[in-house]
Amino acid sequence: MTGFLAVKLTPQTGVSEAGGRLGRMHIVSLAGGIGGARFLRGLRATAPDAQITVIGNTGDDITLFGLRVCPDLDTVMYTLGHGIDEEQGWGRAKESHVVKEELAAYGVEPQWFGLGDRDFATHIVRSQMLEAGYPLSQITRALCVRWQPGVRLLPMSDDRCETHVVISDEQGRRAIHFQEWWVRLRASVPAESIALVGVDTARPAPGVLEAIEEADVVILPPSNPVVSIGTILQVPGIRDALLPKTVVGVSPIVGGAPVRGMADACLTAIGVETTAQAVLDLYGADLIDGWLVAPEDEGVALDGVRVVAGPIIMHDVDAAADIARTALDLAQELAR
Ligand code: GDP
Ligand code: CA
């Protein structure tokens, strides 16, 4: 523990203090898990000299087996740190599942959440540091010393707030943790409502509002508009801080369906259609200045927003970099 704590104050290479240097562009990005992480990999590739601050979603966080798990922060960290399971999009590459099997042999629940052995180590370190009194933002920074993501990764808040979903099933009407709805039920039971428990008293993590304030541009990756970006925007102060900024977003919806995953189930729960237009309307023209949509969605329009149609499918890192470049160029143009 001591050795680990000793390295935690070492700045991450290429970010940290040097970021304030004159002439270096500062980009702020909000991110959930897979969509956010893949976009950020492209953003980093297309803007290698920029300082990139990522405000990560922690609404998906959950305590399992006594360990604090932060799926979205870890997906960003592993993806940018070359440790991700590429095919799956989350979790560690070259993973094994001995601990999970052993827990199952004891009959310990839950068994529906997949945690690999390598991933367990991350959660052990995080939980140990939380127990020692460190805030999540400092712990994330310490974990990133190993992964060197090339961005400054900040949790949206050090305060615990978790997304819960109200469902009705044979056990009646009740609220369950987002992960239970998403992973165990695969969002097959309709969500009656989605609530971010604890957000009323949550504060943005140290550095979040300062980063937004200093940002030259803000880019919203194609992350889940309800339970990733929507969650971050609910933390008191964050949306207001973003309003005066030039914000360009990439639609996570193409031709009336999510590119990947089940974002439609979340949108339906809050009464929003699964279209690039409806997501733009949800974010609003007060927040968004530029909006990238797929060619089939070129009719999308909103007063005060520049809508640009083009390829927005992240087939690989190069494709993600091209999309990020388009978003960045548009943001810089609109910021002038
Ligand atoms: P999660 O936390 O792992 O669910 O990931 P995010 O919240 O970051 O992103 C999920 C969203 O990314 C989904 O709504 C997808 O539709 C969207 N997405 C995934 N891959 C792509 C892609 O290649 N292009 C676009 N435009 N959206 C994508
Ligand atoms: Ca997530």
In tens, the pLDDT along 64-88 reads: 999 999 999 999 999 999 999 999 9
Higher pLDDT, 2 or 38: 38
Q: What pLDDT sits at residue 237?
A: 98
For ligand 2, a single-atom ion, which residues have Cβ within 5 Å?
32-33, 60, 72
Cis geometry, peptide bond prior to residue 110 (ω within 30 degrees of 0) = yes
Q: Is the pLDDT of residue 6 over 70?
A: no
What is the number of the ligand 1 atom nearest to the C-alpha of 221?
8
Whether the CB of 313 sits within 6 Å of ligand 1:
yes
Q: What pLDDT sits at residue 19?
A: 43
Q: Provide the pLDDT confidence category of residue 22 given band limits of 50, 70 and 90.
A: low
- β-strands 172-177, 162-169: how paired? antiparallel
Whether the CB of 260 sits within 6 Å of ligand 1:
yes
Q: Minimum-distance ligand to the CA of 70?
A: 2
Q: Provide the pLDDT confidence category of residue 245 given band limits of 50, 70 and 90.
A: very high
Question: Which amino acid belongs to residue 243?
Answer: L
CA 165 / ligand 2 centre spacing (Å): 14
Whether the CB of 246 sits within 6 Å of ligand 1:
no
Reference 49, options 17, 26, 70; nearest CA is 26
Q: Minimum-distance ligand to the CA of 40?
A: 1
User: Are residues 90 and 34 in contact, defined by beta-carbon separation less than 8 angstroms?
Assistant: yes
Mean pLDDT of the chain: 94
Q: What pLDDT sits at residue 164?
A: 98
Rounded (5°) CA angle 68-203-36: 60
What is the number of the ligand 1 atom nearest to the C-alpha of 75?
3
CA 61 / ligand 2 centre spacing (Å): 9
Whether the CB of 91 sits within 6 Å of ligand 1:
no
Question: Which amino acid belongs to residue 313?
Answer: I
The dihedral through the CA atoms of 251, 252, 257, 259 has a sign that is positive
CA 202 / ligand 1 centre spacing (Å): 26
Strand order in the sheet with 290-293: 152-155, 51-56, 26-31, 217-220, 247-250, 290-293, 306-309
Q: Minimum-distance ligand to the CA of 71?
A: 2
Q: What pLDDT sits at residue 71?
A: 98
Q: What pLDDT sits at residue 65?
A: 97
Q: Tell me the CATH architecture of domain 2-161+198-335.
A: 3-Layer(aba) Sandwich (3.40)
Instruction: Give the residue-averaged pLDDT of 157-168.
Output: 98
Q: Distance between CA 142 and CA 287 in Å, rounded?
A: 32
In tens, the pLDDT along 86-117 reads: 999 999 999 999 999 999 999 999 999 999 99
What is the number of the ligand 1 atom nearest to the C-alpha of 253?
16
Query: What are the domain boundaries of the chain?
Result: 2-161+198-335
Q: What pLDDT sits at residue 23?
A: 76
Instruction: Give the residue-averaged pLDDT of 1-28.
Output: 55
CA 31 / ligand 1 centre spacing (Å): 10
Cβ neighbours around 280 below 10 Å, total = 24
Q: Provide the pLDDT confidence category of residue 222 given band limits of 50, 70 and 90.
A: very high
Q: Is the pLDDT of residue 5 over 80?
A: no
Q: What pLDDT sits at residue 20?
A: 45
Percentage of the chain with pLDDT > 90? 93
Element spanning 51, H or E: strand 51-56
- What's the gap between Cα 113 and its chain centre? 19
Instruction: Give the residue-averaged pLDDT of 198-225.
Output: 98
Ligand 1 atom 2: residue of nearest CA: 33
Q: What pLDDT sits at residue 18?
A: 41
Instruction: Give the residue-averaged pLDDT of 258-272.
Output: 97
Whether the CB of 261 sits within 6 Å of ligand 1:
yes
What is the number of the ligand 1 atom nearest to the C-alpha of 90?
3
- β-strands 162-169, 193-197: how paired? antiparallel
Q: Is the pLDDT of residue 185 over 70?
A: yes
Q: How far is CA 326 from CA 37, 79, 164, in A?
A: 17, 21, 35
Among 9-18, 52-61, 233-242, where is mean pLDDT lowest? 9-18
CA 135 / ligand 2 centre spacing (Å): 21
Higher pLDDT, 277 or 21: 277
Q: Provide the pLDDT confidence category of residue 316 given band limits of 50, 70 and 90.
A: very high
